[in-house]
Amino acid sequence: MNLKRIARVLTPEVAYAQGYVRTPGGFRHKSMVHEMKPRHAVVRRAGGIGIMSLDDKQVADIPVAPTPPEPLAGMAGGWVTWASCGTPLTATAGAKITSLSTSWVVPPPPSTQSGQLIYFFNGLQDDAGDIILQPVLQWGVSGAGGGQYWGAASWHVDASGHAFYTPVTRVSEGGTLTGIMTLEVQADGSLIYTSAFVGLPGTNLVAQGLPELTVATQTLEAYGLTKASDYPNAPMTAMSAIDLQVNGVSTASQWVGDTMSNPAFGEHTNIVNNASPGGEVNLFY
């Protein structure tokens, strides 16, 4: 399963009644959506997933879901338009994406409200697109909280149905956010990834034992839009000051734009600059 593609539609009313909440990647059952408290980390290891206290290293295992997860979406949605780059950056033996930083301005609110949920994020994924780590700006209500305002949170989502999040921190229109993900390679070769918004400590999410994240993204994801005015009252959001580092060195990147099939409102991506630092990708809506 690829996290950017949605297979079928479940209306919000039916989903909520069945115990689902909205996350990046669509609806997931609330039993598989986990809040990350301060000083805790997601731990992936052979045989399962847990949440570990960083203070005493105690791990609370997460039970296997009682039913197989389904690819669910509310009122049809998913990744709308995005840019990505990856494998050529890490094709050399030992090369790893060690940091991805992007800045963007919190846009004006939508001029109409239809219960929509909008996400802007930069992110790191594995090759298959089954695992993603992402600092996310959202409009609307998700499993992390929120409302008819802009909020910031970090998410770690996988294709088995699990999602981990930090609670939403409210942010103001016109403010500049910087989302950053970093990799620390341990002596035993294990990988520790962190996602956060600079200056918003409540958005810090740590994940250990992940496979290598080899694909970088700049993405607009949305659910439940019924008209163009459900998007922010602006033509586009500039994902700018992009700094992608490979083995700790800023590395120019060949971003490639993509858009969902038959976008309803002309959504598209423009690649402005492939530099690093200083790259820019514009997400039009």
Predicted confidence (pLDDT) per residue in 43-85, tens digit: 998 878 999 999 999 999 997 665 544 444 334 579 999 999 9
Per the CB < 8 A criterion, the answer to whether 85 and 244 are in contact is yes
Q: Is residue 88 pLDDT above 70, yes or no?
A: yes
Main-chain dihedrals φ then ψ at residue 139, nearest 5 degrees: -120, 125
Q: Is residue 34 pLDDT above 70, yes or no?
A: yes
13 compared with 284, residue with greater pLDDT: 284
Separation of alpha carbons 251 and 235, rounded Å = 29
For CA atoms 224, 21, 152, 99, the dihedral sign is negative
Domain ranges of the chain: 12-284
Within 10 A of 94 (CB to CB), how many other CB atoms are there? 7
| 149-203 pLDDT tens trace | 999 999 999 988 899 999 999 999 999 999 999 999 988 888 999 999 999 999 9
Q: Which of 99, 172, 179, 102 is nearest to 134 (CA)?
A: 179
Give the single-character DSSP code of 229: G
Separation of alpha carbons 34 and 92, rounded Å = 36
